[in-house]
Amino acid sequence: MKFTTPATTNPIDRLQVIGKPTDRIDGPFKTTGTAPYAYEQHKVAPNAAYGWVVGAGIAKGTIRRIDTRAARAAPGVLAVITHENAGKLVKGKYNTAHLLGGPEIQHYHQAVALIVAETFEQARAAAALLHVEYAPVNGVYDLEAAMNAAGPASKDKAKSTTKVGNFEAAFASAPVKLDATYKTPDQTHAMMEPHASTAVWQGDTLTLYTANQMINWGKKDMARTLGIPEENVRLVSPYIGGGFGGKLFLRSEALLATLGAKAVGRPVKVTLQRALMMNNTTHRPATIQHIRIGATREGRITAIAHESWSGDLPDGGPETAVNQTRLLYAGPNRFTQMRLAVLDLAEGNAMRAPGEAPGMMALEIAMDELAEKLQMDPVTLRVVNDTTVDPEKPGRRFSQRRFVDTLRLGAGRFGWNRRNPKPGQVRDGRWLVGYGMAAAFRNNLVMKSAARVRLERDGTVTVETDMTDIGTGTYTIVGQTAAEMLGVPLSRVTVRLGDSAYPVSAGSGGQWGGNSSTAGVYAACVKLRENVAKKLGLDPAQADFSGGMVRAGGKALPLEQASREADVIGEDTMEYGDLDKTYQQSTFGAHFVEVAVDAATAEVRVRRMLAVCAAGRILNPKSARSQVIGAMTMGVGAALMEDLVVDKRAGFFVNHDLAGYEVPVHADIPHQEVIFLDETDPVSSPMKAKGVGELGICGVAAAVANAIYNATGVRVRDYPVTLDKLL
Ligand code: MOS
């Protein structure tokens, strides 16, 4: 089905099941420990052997010699896989470095061997006996030092640089100017479940139980890496313990489990050890961002420039931190640019709202600084610079843009008028108290997505799609969509996800999954409704599905009558064509934060947080709220704690475990409130929904930093805002 805009009225609009706060249907399985994760496939692979991954001890160079004899002779060891016996492996499309290093080493902790043994402990013990001799060479690990050598971020120049009007001239003559540089550190996803896979071979056919957000990408890339037909690869990923972009692609544990299982002729399971995750997998790259804004005395932006530098391995990509600056505020003279340095650290790639998350960390402090120079309220400054069109391409309108509504509603609800605009003035005992705010902005992507819906003979409905639920609530919104479309209660719908045997979905990433995957289920349900009506001899155009009945032309029949002799199936793909050429689709919001800073120690406590989100129809307000408060929590981590510290001599992230890489715990997070604007976006899909999870993180860190400035008068432009920077 091809989506044509605007979406017309359809059964989803009845909102009998969709739009209602609904408990996650996978919740009880997870909380009772009965949801099998990738490493827990005891039922299908009871005899699985254990793998232990060995990571490279240098960041760049070659393996001169690898001696596996002692490891192979150790108790319980079944095989040792290295580049010398792995066979020919083609690099996948989505990984920048080879997943199994050797003889060339491209980054620290790149996998160089897998030890397979009867038990986990035996594999670990044997790993200590593996002897690898390296020939290291010097690498480049310091973004700041590599800045001047950084080239355009993309071969497509239009993508790395945009220019409108004459920024330099307009900035030079602007009566009020802001010119500042901001830094965001490398960050890691730090999801609860590490990368994990259980590989089972039957003849030439691989079944890989794996924690993966994008089943079809993973299936294709595994086939490509091994040089086998795609139909010989099946990926199964029904439950995933968090991803945040770290599980968008195959990682080394998936390939090594597969190679190990082939070598020992039985299933092998591998979980990437926590201490390898930061340097072995992908991370959010650090950025240096230079922002210049010129404005009239009334606060109208006349010139805005945002330049961002980041680094990645050769052939890698940039952190697209200027994305939001191309779209968020008006202003006739504009310049944005991304430059990319070659760094020999682990691969940079997507992490929760790639681009906008670190971009908003910089832009929204810059706006706070500009407001102060103008002696203008920060909320008002943003309202004054709102735009209804893409400011770089004025012919393109936003499908929906209720940014100003989120600002006004948030300011009222938060009590923003109680803020003292002069910093360092408000005391509460030993605490300095401050308010801060920031805009929220994240693009809304739509991806084609397919599903199969079956009316079973007992009248229940089964939905199958290779869509994943990474803890986001997909099972539930997919089930709600089918229930709404077919007029049955949610309890009569069974949802099957995360299996490449099912139709190819949008997958989970970039906050496109919720709207896109349910739109695919919608398309399949439209097909099923037609097939049911036809079987019952009813006019499909007239048929109304509700209360488990189908009604048309004065007749009313129970739904299951259609499936008495055989199941009835509907299968389809929702496709969008070049919808994004006509409309700019984005999600908007506002974050408000109250902090207290200890006047003596500079310890920061977040006291109160509010997010207002304009993100189209909210399919399940309960799971959407969970997504947003999770993202707000991650934003507090970005503001105050998260920092992968680079050893600039040896070339690795030093704090590569969850003891040294700090993220917020419950005690760090105060009262959080989330308000969703009541809106629908008829341009986004027949669901009229948009992404919301990633919107929840964009801007939070800047709101915290701005609140700290309001509390203390200390402006920190270098994240995280740790207490040493405040004293
Ligand atoms: Mo997304 S970058 O897969 O959280």
The domains found in the chain, sorted by start residue, are 11-35+447-575 (3.30.365.10), 49-138+195-272 (3.30.365.10), 147-186+284-445+582-725 (3.30.365.10)
Q: How does pLDDT run across 321-368, given as a tens digit for each residue?
A: 999 999 999 999 999 999 999 999 999 999 999 999 999 999 999 999
> Does the pLDDT of residue 611 top 90, yes or no?
yes
DSSP state of 192: S
Q: Which residues pair with 610 in a beta bridge?
A: 592, 673
Around ligand 1, the residues with Cβ closer than 6 Å are 213, 243-245, 248, 350-352, 354, 509-510
Burial 532-571 (b: 16+ CB within 10 A, else e): bbebbebeeeebebeeeebbbeeeebebbebbeeeebbbb
Handedness of CA 419, 424, 425, 427 (dihedral sign): positive
Question: Which residue of 212, 248, 447 sits with most ligand 1 atoms within 8 Å of its CB, as the best mutation to test the pocket?
Answer: 248
Distance from residue 16's CA to the centre of ligand 1 (Å) = 30
Contact predicate 661/188, CB 8 Å: yes
Instruction: Ligand 1, residue 511: give the atom nearest the CA.
Output: 1
Q: Could you give the 3-state DSSP secondary structure of residue 382?
A: helix
Instruction: Ligand 1, residue 245: give the atom nearest the CA.
Output: 3
The reported pTM is 0.97
Instruction: Ligand 1, residue 508: give the atom nearest the CA.
Output: 3
- Angle 621-640/700-712 helices, nearest 10 degrees? 50
Return the pLDDT at 650: 97
Lowest pLDDT segment from 276-285, 560-569, 624-633? 560-569
Q: How does pLDDT run across 361-388, given as a tens digit for each residue?
A: 999 999 999 999 999 999 999 999 999 9
Banded model confidence at residue 579, pLDDT cuts 50, 70, 90: confident
Q: How does pLDDT run across 266-318, given as a tens digit for each residue?
A: 999 999 999 999 999 999 999 999 999 999 999 999 999 999 999 999 999 99
Instruction: Ligand 1, residue 693: give the atom nearest the CA.
Output: 4
Question: Which residue of 188, 237, 249, 352 sits with most ligand 1 atoms within 8 Å of its CB, as the best mutation to test the pocket?
Answer: 352
> Does the pLDDT of residue 467 top 70, yes or no?
yes
Return the pLDDT at 470: 96
Q: How does pLDDT run across 391-432, given as a tens digit for each residue?
A: 999 889 999 999 999 999 999 999 999 999 999 999 999 999
Distance from residue 481's CA to the centre of ligand 1 (Å) = 23
Question: Which residue of 94, 217, 244, 442 sits with most ligand 1 atoms within 8 Å of its CB, as the best mutation to test the pocket?
Answer: 244
Please report how many Cα atoms fall inside a 13 Å half-sphere around the Cα of residue 134, on the Cβ side: 21
Q: What is the dihedral of CA 608, 711, 663, 628, to 10 degrees?
A: 40
> Does the pLDDT of residue 529 top 90, yes or no?
yes
What is the Cα–Cα distance from 343 to 633, expressed in whole angstroms?
30
Distance from residue 272's CA to the centre of ligand 1 (Å) = 19
Distance from residue 353's CA to the centre of ligand 1 (Å) = 6
Burial 189-215 (b: 16+ CB within 10 A, else e): bbbebbbbbbbbbeeeebbbbbbbbbb
> Does the pLDDT of residue 710 top 80, yes or no?
yes
Return the pLDDT at 157: 60
Question: Which residue of 187, 249, 351, 627 sits with most ligand 1 atoms within 8 Å of its CB, as the best mutation to test the pocket?
Answer: 351
What is the Cα–Cα distance from 635 to 630, expressed in whole angstroms?
9
Distance from residue 182's CA to the centre of ligand 1 (Å) = 23
Return the pLDDT at 577: 87
Distance from residue 358's CA to the centre of ligand 1 (Å) = 13
The string of DSSP codes covering 521-547 is: HHHHHHHHHHHHHHHTT--TTT-EEET
> Does the pLDDT of residue 156 top 70, yes or no?
no
Return the pLDDT at 578: 83
Banded model confidence at residue 235, pLDDT cuts 50, 70, 90: very high
Instruction: Ligand 1, residue 213: give the atom nearest the CA.
Output: 3
Return the pLDDT at 642: 98
Contact predicate 489/18, CB 8 Å: no
What is the Cα–Cα distance from 669 to 108, expressed in whole angstroms?
34
Return the pLDDT at 19: 98
Instruction: Ligand 1, residue 244: give the atom nearest the CA.
Output: 4
Distance from residue 466's CA to the centre of ligand 1 (Å) = 17
> Does the pLDDT of residue 478 top 90, yes or no?
yes
Banded model confidence at residue 636, pLDDT cuts 50, 70, 90: very high
Please choose, from the candidates 407, 488, 419, 414, the residue with its C-alpha nearest in 3D space to the C-alpha of residue 453.
488
Distance from residue 216's CA to the centre of ligand 1 (Å) = 16
> Does the pLDDT of residue 512 top 70, yes or no?
yes
Respond yes or no: is residue 694 known to be catalytic. yes
Q: How far are the Cα atoms of 307, 358, 361, 440, 707 from residue 701, in angstroms, in the given order? A: 19, 9, 6, 11, 10
Instruction: Ligand 1, residue 352: give the atom nearest the CA.
Output: 4
The catalytic residue among 253, 364, 571, 694 is 694
